[in-house]
């Protein structure tokens, strides 16, 4: 397929996944702000959301002090912020429009409808008029996108690039979410206990739809290292790093065919680390170090994918 | 309104208000359908078009601003006999135009015979690069949109021939799909000829014009990109034909061949259905500032390494200055009597014509020789004194840039408007395909001027579209 087409498909999927994750972060942060005994200031509550989006500096420059309303506007609707839900959904739709031929009709219509519906939220005061509803809407549109593409698209390279974008982005987002909250998960921290910690941990789980999964898997009180284990090493947890790489590795093998390339090697190496890694070792080396390293490697993999498939050079 | 009914030929009704036989069944059905129901069908269509993204971009508005072309739920109906005459006439015309293009870029017999003046070679649409170049099967206009208007029972005129990158066929196809969805019961009542196979016919023709010796030709559609006004159509047709939709940046030239960049490396391209104007197709040969084209494409094309559809240089044949000679071309090349008539046309480069036009400006339609899309055009009877005066000055500044035609009494067709069903002026654009054979599918784009009394049907000027039903015998 055309390299440019592959590029549009890959980025379209990344942007939709990014919108979903942003909505998840906003949603749990907002819910935590509603906890009656929460002693946290607006800054300690909302700054992590900005950190996950990598937008603290830009926010401070344009908005100044951290307020709930400001962060929500910046992350959800700000047309000047390239990572806002508004901006990434618009980019997703622009990318989709450029390759509508390659998408199944249902997939294209789904993304087009997503954008048409989204315009209703523009100009609305989300803090007043149901941020939760908005976030649910973004999440369900993202689910719908995956469902429609999975259910209607031919299993060809177009589909593979689309899935590749989804999981590269998801791995990045889960790692960032964990990294921003990692201090809560460090062993030794558990004796602090208390209601707030419980809410924090459960919030992380809820942000990746893993609250019930946790209870099913561990059938026990929420322990921080188990939260980390669930989101890093468990293959059966669909938003974990391991689960993402269980999707990425075979896709890259199919795309590469008989050729060996740096993408395949990198992905294989990362996959092996997640597959054979032990949580104890990770904590011993430091969860933060592990996650930082993962985010960088995942990013390098993205660069290699771009170089190998998406901006294919003329002379090959 | 009564006045309008007397003055213009109406597709559905006789002047006395009785219904023409081909519309009888439809009129009976229409009588039983309340206005509200039609209106809700119209809204449903709008919603669907928007959801599917059947939109166009308007130049001069915000980048990315997308609009719908209004869709009218009342069809235009043509009898089998009417259609076969139009169809024969359009095919005849396109055959002659292709022969003319070959001739003008080779021996120029028609100039030698004194039928077309040699000044045509100075027309900016004439491409000297094409002189002596042989194109496969001698076909230049693979896709031609012939604009027809009707003024009476048997009076059809060709308004213009569109031989460069004619658009609108996606609306022809989508309008049919929409009508079948909205009013399935009507399709049981009428024997409507199917035309959904248009993309297949087009693809067969495009494959047929690959260079000799190519076994399984790769055909692509070259678009200026997602911000072009007709992007939806480009995407739609490519998808229907199952071919790649490429942009200039996806193609490159090497060793007298064109390749596309794919995730598996370069792939050879044999036929390019291009929807980019000549001026932008190759920055090395034409506009150097073009970001849309493919550097070196023209040289490969001239050496026969790739086929372009339509060919480079077809503009010289659909220019408004050339139009007046088409009936003569038909006689010259085919030895046949033209089936379809031209609209009488005044050339303002001629002193006599110029004087007549300036004296009768308020009754004429004046167009720029190279204009299209209804831009830069004057409709005398609808213009204010000031507009007439302004246009007079523009004509005087460069008379050769204009032609004029009598204001045609375009036929009207019942159309759904706010107050109910009312007559609105329509035209018709069938698409003639040349390659393996010269043919058209039984269908056409019908454009309708939605504003009361307006004669301008272009979508950029507030025109809408209708499904066109060609009845089987």
Measured distance CA(A239)–CA(A231) in Å, rounded: 7
B360 CB near a chain A CB, below 8 Å? no
| pLDDT for residue A312 is more than 90 | no
Give the chain A residue whose CA is nearest to the CA of B246. Answer: A2
Measured distance CA(A175)–CA(B279) in Å, rounded: 50
Of B274, B380, B365, B361, the C-alpha closest to B320 is B365
Chain B CB contacts of A165 below 8 Å: none
Which pLDDT does position A186 carry in this prediction? 61
Band of residue A33 on the pLDDT scale cut at 50, 70, 90? confident
Average pLDDT, chain B: 91
Chain A CB contacts of B177 below 8 Å: none
Task: Look at the alpha carbons of B347, B353, B356, B359 in this order and tell me if their dihedral is positive or negative.
Answer: positive
User: What values do phi and psi take at B265, rounded to 5?
Assistant: 105, 180
In a mutagenesis test of the A interface, which of B234, B237, B263 is the best target, namely the one with the most A β-carbons within 10 Å?
B263
User: What ipTM did this prediction achieve?
Assistant: 0.73
Measured distance CA(B328)–CA(B97) in Å, rounded: 11
| pLDDT for residue A192 is more than 70 | no
Which pLDDT does position A100 carry in this prediction? 86
Of B426, B367, B390, the C-alpha closest to B75 is B426
B238 CB near a chain A CB, below 8 Å? yes
Parse chain A into domains and list their residue ranges. Answer: 1-153, 155-315
Give the chain B residue whose CA is nearest to the CA of A98. Answer: B226
Q: What is the pLDDT of residues A78-117, one digit of tens each?
A: 989 999 999 999 999 999 988 888 899 899 999 999 998 9
Query: Cβ contact (<8 Å) for A157 and B263?
Result: yes
| pLDDT for residue A154 is more than 90 | yes
Which pLDDT does position B88 carry in this prediction? 98
Which pLDDT does position B5 carry in this prediction? 44
Band of residue A184 on the pLDDT scale cut at 50, 70, 90? low
Which pLDDT does position B63 carry in this prediction? 44
Closest partner CB to B261 (pick from A3, A94, A112): A3
Of B286, B315, B290, B287, the C-alpha closest to B299 is B286
| pLDDT for residue B310 is more than 70 | yes
Of B358, B463, B369, the C-alpha closest to B410 is B463
Give the chain B residue whose CA is nearest to the CA of A160. Answer: B263
Chain B CB contacts of A100 below 8 Å: 53, 235, 239
Measured distance CA(B148)–CA(B71) in Å, rounded: 20
Which 3 state secondary structure label does DSSP give B402?
strand
Q: What is the pLDDT of residues A58-83, one digit of tens each?
A: 999 999 999 999 999 999 999 899 99
Query: In terms of pLDDT, which residue wins out, A223 or B315?
Result: B315
Query: Cβ contact (<8 Å) for A116 and B235?
Result: no
Band of residue A187 on the pLDDT scale cut at 50, 70, 90? low
Band of residue A190 on the pLDDT scale cut at 50, 70, 90? very low
Q: What is the pLDDT of residues B241-260, one digit of tens each?
A: 999 999 999 999 999 999 99
CATH topology of domain B344-406: Dna Ligase; domain 1 (3.30.1490)
Chain A CB contacts of B64 below 8 Å: 94
Q: How far is B24 from chain A (nearest CA, A)?
A: 37
Q: How far is A63 from chain B (nearest CA, A)?
A: 28
Cis peptide before B280 (omega within 30 of 0): no
Chain B CB contacts of A98 below 8 Å: 225-226
- Mean pLDDT confidence for B118-144: 95
> What does DSSP say about strands B307-309 and B271-274: parallel, antiparallel, or unpaired?
parallel
Parse chain B into domains and list their residue ranges. Answer: 94-137+194-334, 344-406
Query: Cβ contact (<8 Å) for B260 and A2?
Result: yes
- Among A37-51, A276-290, B170-184, B321-335, the range scoring the smallest mean pLDDT is A37-51
Give the chain B residue whose CA is nearest to the CA of A96. Answer: B226
pTM: 0.84
Percentage of chain A surpassing pLDDT 90? 58
Which pLDDT does position B4 carry in this prediction? 44
- Among A279-283, B315-319, B374-378, B454-458, the range scoring the smallest mean pLDDT is B374-378
| pLDDT for residue B461 is more than 80 | no
Q: What is the pLDDT of residues A201-215, one digit of tens each?
A: 888 888 888 888 998
Phi-psi region of B256 (alpha: psi -120 to 50; beta: other; left: phi over 0): left
CATH class of segment(s) B94-137+194-334: alpha beta
- Mean pLDDT confidence for B367-374: 70
Measured distance CA(A65)–CA(A67) in Å, rounded: 6
Band of residue B227 on the pLDDT scale cut at 50, 70, 90? confident
Measured distance CA(B49)–CA(B184) in Å, rounded: 18
């Amino acid at each position: 397929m055309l390299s440019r087409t592959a590029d549009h498909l890959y980025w379209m999927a990344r942007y939709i996944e990014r919108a979903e994750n942003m909505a998840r972060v906003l949603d749990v942060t907002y819910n935590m702000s509603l906890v009656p005994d929460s002693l946290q200031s607006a800054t300690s509550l909302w700054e992590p959301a900005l950190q996950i989006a990598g937008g603290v500096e830009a926010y401070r420059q344009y908005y100044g002090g951290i307020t709930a309303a400001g962060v929500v506007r910046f992350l959800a609707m700000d047309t000047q912020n390239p990572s806002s839900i508004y901006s990434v959904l618009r980019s997703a739709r622009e990318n989709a429009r450029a390759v509508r031929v390659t998408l199944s009709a249902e997939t294209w219509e789904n993304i087009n409808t997503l954008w048409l519906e989204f315009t209703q939220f523009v100009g609305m005061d989300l803090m007043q008029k149901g941020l939760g509803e908005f976030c649910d809407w973004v999440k369900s549109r993202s689910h719908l996108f995956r469902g429609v593409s999975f259910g209607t698209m031919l299993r060809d390279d177009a589909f593979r690039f689309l899935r590749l974008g989804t999981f590269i982005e998801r791995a990045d987002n889960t790692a960032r979410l964990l990294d921003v909250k990692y201090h809560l998960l460090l062993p030794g921290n558990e004796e602090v206990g208390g209601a707030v910690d419980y809410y924090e941990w459960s919030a992380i789980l809820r942000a990746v739809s893993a609250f019930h999964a946790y209870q099913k898997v561990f059938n026990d009180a929420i322990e921080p290292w188990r939260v980390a284990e669930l989101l890093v090493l468990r293959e059966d947890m669909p938003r974990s790093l391991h689960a993402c790489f269980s999707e990425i590795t075979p896709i890259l093998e199919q795309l590469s065919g008989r050729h060996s390339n740096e993408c395949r090697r990198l992905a294989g190496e990362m996959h092996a680390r997640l597959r054979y890694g032990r949580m104890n070792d990770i904590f011993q080396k430091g969860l933060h170090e592990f996650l930082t390293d993962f985010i960088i490697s995942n990013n390098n993999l993205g660069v290699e994918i771009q170089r190998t498939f998406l901006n294919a050079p003329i002379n090959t | 309104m009564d006045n309008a009914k007397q003055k213009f030929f109406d597709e559905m009704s006789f002047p006395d208000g009785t219904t023409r036989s081909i519309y009888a069944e439809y009129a009976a059905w229409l009588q039983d359908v309340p206005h509200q129901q039609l209106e809700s069908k119209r809204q449903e269509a709008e919603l669907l078009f928007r959801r599917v993204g059947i939109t166009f971009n308007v130049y001069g508005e915000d980048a990315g601003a997308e609009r719908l072309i209004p869709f009218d739920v009342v069809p235009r109906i043509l009898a089998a006999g009417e259609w076969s005459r139009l169809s024969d006439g359009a095919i005849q015309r396109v055959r002659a135009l292709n022969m003319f293009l070959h001739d003008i870029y080779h021996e120029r017999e028609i100039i030698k015979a004194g039928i077309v003046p040699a000044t045509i070679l100075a027309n900016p649409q004439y491409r000297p690069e094409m002189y002596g170049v042989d194109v496969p099967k001698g076909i230049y206009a693979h896709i031609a949109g012939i604009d027809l208007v009707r003024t009476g029972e048997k009076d059809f005129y060709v308004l213009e021939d569109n031989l460069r990158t004619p658009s609108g066929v996606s609306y022809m196809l989508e309008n049919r799909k929409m009508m079948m969805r909205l009013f399935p019961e009507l399709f049981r009542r009428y024997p409507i000829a199917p035309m959904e196979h248009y993309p297949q016919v087009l693809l067969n023709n495009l494959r047929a014009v690959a260079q000799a010796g190519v076994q399984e030709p790769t055909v692509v559609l070259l678009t200026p990109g997602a911000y072009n006004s007709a992007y939806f159509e480009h995407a739609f047709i490519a998808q229907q034909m199952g071919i790649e939709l490429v942009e200039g940046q996806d193609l490159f030239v090497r060793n007298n061949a064109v390749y596309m960049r794919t995730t598996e490396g370069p792939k050879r391209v044999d036929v390019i259905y291009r929807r980019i104007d000549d001026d932008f197709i190759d920055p090395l040969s034409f506009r150097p500032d073009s970001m849309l084209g493919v550097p070196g494409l023209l040289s490969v094309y001239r050496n026969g390494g790739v086929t372009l559809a339509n060919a480079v240089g077809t503009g010289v044949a659909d220019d408004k200055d050339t139009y007046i000679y088409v009936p003569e071309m038909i006689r010259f090349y085919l030895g046949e009597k033209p089936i379809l008539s031209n609209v009488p046309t005044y050339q303002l480069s001629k002193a006599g014509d110029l004087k007549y036009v300036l004296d009768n400006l308020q009754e004429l339609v004046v167009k720029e020789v190279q204009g299209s899309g209804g831009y830069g055009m004057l409709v005398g009877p609808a213009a204010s004194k000031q507009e007439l005066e302004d246009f007079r000055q523009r004509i005087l500044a460069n008379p050769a840039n204009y032609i004029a035609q009598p204001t045609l009494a375009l036929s009207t067709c019942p159309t759904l408007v706010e107050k109910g069903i009312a007559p609105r002026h329509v035209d018709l654009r069938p698409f003639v395909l040349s390659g393996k054979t010269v043919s058209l599918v039984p269908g056409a784009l019908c454009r309708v001027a939605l504003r009361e009394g307006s004669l301008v049907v272009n979508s950029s000027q507030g025109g809408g579209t209708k499904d066109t039903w060609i009845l089987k015998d």
